Amino acid sequence: MTLDQLRPVAERGLKPFVGVADWLGLTPDGVSVLAFACAVVAGVAFGLDAPTAAPELYLAGSLLVLANGWLDLVDGALARAQGVSSSGGDLLDHVLDRYADIAMLVGLAAGVDRYALGLAAVTGVLMTSYLGTQIQAVGIGREYGGLLGRADRLALIGVVGVAAAVVPGPLVAGYGVVAALLVVFALVGHFTAVQRFWGAWRVLNE
């Protein structure tokens, strides 16, 4: 079970945020862009320096990552509230989410000088997300299952960002919490992609 499967529960607490966004005159697409901006700034904060030199940047990055995740829920709820849900808005949301994932992971990798791990993590995350939308494209429905969905990744990045600020140095075999997180995203991301593929393959061939 992933946190993505709890989206209906989380959406029950969105009404005040949707109301504020509507009062401010924001559009769903505008909220999507704002969420993306939070992710980009978080990536920059993570990548500017190692956590040993700038722990406050990791704390700021973590808060921005959580803001990205919450705003990613608000945009859809706002679209429904305003009666403007559209395929174009859904496309924009998915594209910005992928670029947001890239920005955050590249920032994490740059901050600890682990570019190879960053590449492995980015490809794992992108393949997980790709399988989710591709499964929808073949008519099965949007797939949020697997070990790590997007909500899980954002929660982990937020927690690890705080942990990196508190415990900035290496923990085991020269790996700190950020490098360890990149390893998890690389391994579990690709495993989740295969898991989603196999589940969809079985459904399509029943």
Q: Is 65 exposed, middle or buried (0-12, 13-18, 19+ CB in 10 A)?
A: buried
Who wins on pLDDT, 85 or 88? 88
| SS3 of 95-130 | HHHHHHHHHHHHHHHHHCCCHHHHHHHHHHHHHHHH
Compute the Cα dihedral for 107, 130, 1, 201 and give only its sign: negative
User: What is the predicted pLDDT for the residue at 11?
Assistant: 61
2 touches 152 (CB < 8 A): yes
User: What is the predicted pLDDT for the residue at 166?
Assistant: 84
* Type of residue found at 25: G
Question: Which domains does the chain show, CATH number per domain?
Answer: 3-204 (1.20.120.1760)
Q: Look over the chain and give the mean of its residue pLDDT values, rounded to a whole number.
A: 85
For the segment 19-43, what is each residue's pLDDT rounded down to a tens digit?
787 788 888 899 999 999 999 999 9
For residue 172, give the 3-state DSSP assignment: strand
119 touches 57 (CB < 8 A): no
Q: What is the DSSP string of 19-80?
A: HHHHHTT--HHHHHHHHHHHHHHHHHHHHHS-TTT-HHHHHHHHHHHHHHHHHHHHHHHHHH
As a 3-state breakdown, the chain gives helix, strand, coil percent values, each rounded to 5, of 80, 0, 20
Please state, in angstroms and rounded to a whole number, the distance separating the CA atoms of residues 123 and 173: 24
85: pLDDT strictly greater than 90: no
For the segment 93-141, what is each residue's pLDDT rounded down to a tens digit?
889 999 999 999 999 999 889 999 999 999 999 998 888 888 888 888 7
Q: Place 3 in a pLDDT band, splitting at 50, 70 and 90.
A: low
For residue 139, give the 3-state DSSP assignment: coil
**Separation in Å, CA 180 to CA 39, 47, 97, 114, 198:** 20, 16, 23, 10, 27
- What's the residue count for the chain? 206
For residue 205, give the 3-state DSSP assignment: coil
16: pLDDT strictly greater than 90: no
Write down the pTM of the prediction.
Answer: 0.85
